[in-house]
Structure 1
C-alpha cells in the first residue's frame, strides 16, 4: 500500500472516529436532558394530579375491599427488578390462579378500575418510580418478571427492551396500547430504542394526551 492509500485510510478512520464521538456526545446530552426533564415532570405531575388521586382513592375504597394502591414487581433497566406503583383497578383476588395477561372486557377489573385504566389514571403513582430513578417518563413499558421470561423464550430478542430505562408511556403505548401482542410491542419498542431523540419523545407525549382523551388501546 502506497503513501497516498495509507493517507486515505488514516483520513477515513479519523472521520469515522469523529462521527462516533459526535454520536456519543449527542446521546450523552440527550440522556442528561431527559433525566432533568423526567424529574421536573414527575414532581410537577404528582402535585397537579394529587386531587385526582385523592378522588379516585375514595372511589376505589367505596367500590371494593382492599388497598387503594398496590405494588408489583417489574423488570427495569438491565434486568433490575423494582416495585411499580399503581392505583388498584382489579378485585383483590384477581390473580388467585397465578399471573394472567389482561384481556379485553376483563371481569377481574372493577367499574372504577375500568375508567382509570381507560384514562391511564391508574398509572399516575408511577411518577414516584420516576423520582426514584427506576423509570423514565418515556420508554418501553416494564413487564413483570414472569412474562418477561416467557416472552423472551417465545420471541428471541425480547430482552432488548431492557437496554433502556422503562417508561410511563412509550411508542408502543401510543401505537396500540394494550391491544398489541408481545411481538408487535417488541417491534415498536425497538423502533424507539434505535431512534431515541427529543423530537420523538415530544411526539410521544403529544400522542399520549390523545390516548388519554380518547381511551384508545385500553382494556
Structure 2
C-alpha cells in the first residue's frame, strides 16, 4: 500500500472519530485500559509462549511455508498496522488475491481449523498489543481491501475505526468466522456504543471460555 492511499484512509478515519461523539470515553478509562492491556498481554505472551512454539512446529510439519506471517490491517483512525498471526491456511491460499474466509474453507489446514476455532492463531498479536497498535479487546482490525469493499456496501462501516482494534471482540465471541460482515459490523458498533469496563470484562472471560473449550462460536 502506498503512502498516499494510507494517508487518505487515515484522514477518513480521523474525520469519523472527530465527528462521532458517542465513542467519547474518559481519559481515566482509556489510561487504565492501556495499563491493563500492557501487563496482561505481557503475562499472556510469557505463559503461552510454549503453546505458540508447539503450534509453530505443528504448522511447519503439516504444510510448507512460514508458520508466522505479517499482514497489513486498518487500525485506529485508519492507520495501517502490521499484525502477526499463526498461519492457518496453505501457503499459497491467496495466490489469486484476498478472499473472505468461509465455513469449511478448503484453504484452511487441519491445524488451521483447530487454531481458528480456539482463536489460538491470534496469539502472536499479543505483540501488537504490547506495541500499542491494538488493544486486547475491540473490533478486529480489517484488511484494507475488505475495508474498502465493505464501506461501499455497509453504511457507516468506517465507524469501526472509532476505537483501537482488538485481539478479541464482541463479534468474535458471538459467532466469529461464521458471522457475515454485516453481523460483525453490528456487534462492533454495539461494542463502540456501549464501551465500558463491564463489557470488556464480559468479552475477556467469554474469550477464555472459547479458547479452553473450543465452544462459543456458531
Normalised by the size of structure 1, how large is the TM-score? 0.86
1:215 CA displacement: 2.6
Structure 1 residue matching 2:55: 3-state secondary structure: helix
Residue aligning to 2:164: 165
Residue of structure 2 equivalent to 1:44: 43
Match status 1:99 vs 2:95 = no
Shift of the alpha carbon at 1:36?
0.1
SS of 2:26's partner is helix
SS in 2 for 1:83: strand
Alpha-carbon deviation of 1:68?
1.1
**TM superposition shift of 1:217:** 6.5
Structure 2 partner of 1:112: 111
Query: Does the aligned pair in 1 maintain the 2:209–2:216 contact within 8 Å?
Result: no
Shift of the 70–217 alpha-carbon distance from structure 1 to 2, 3 Å rule, reads farther
Q: Deviations over 1:38-87 (max 9, x none)?
A: 00011001100010011111111111110110011100000000111001
Q: Deviations over 1:135-190 (max 9, x none)?
A: 00000001100000100000010000001000001111111211111111111111
Match of 1:80 in 2: 79
Deviations 1:80-103 (A, max 9, x none): 001110011111100111110001
Q: How far apart, CA to CA, are the structure 2 residues paired with 1:217 and 1:199?
A: 19
Structure 2 segments unaligned to the other structure (5+ residues): 1-21
Deviates more, 1:81-90 or 1:208-217: 208-217
Partner of 1:194: 193
Partner residue in 2 for 1:137: 136
Instruction: Number of aligned residue pairs: give it.
Output: 197
Give, in whole Å, the separation in 2 of the partners of 1:216 and 1:84: 25
Partner of 1:185: 184
Q: Secondary structure at the match of 2:108?
A: coil
Partner of 1:121: 120
What's the CA shift for 1:205?
0.8
Q: Please name the residue that 2:207 is paired with.
A: 208
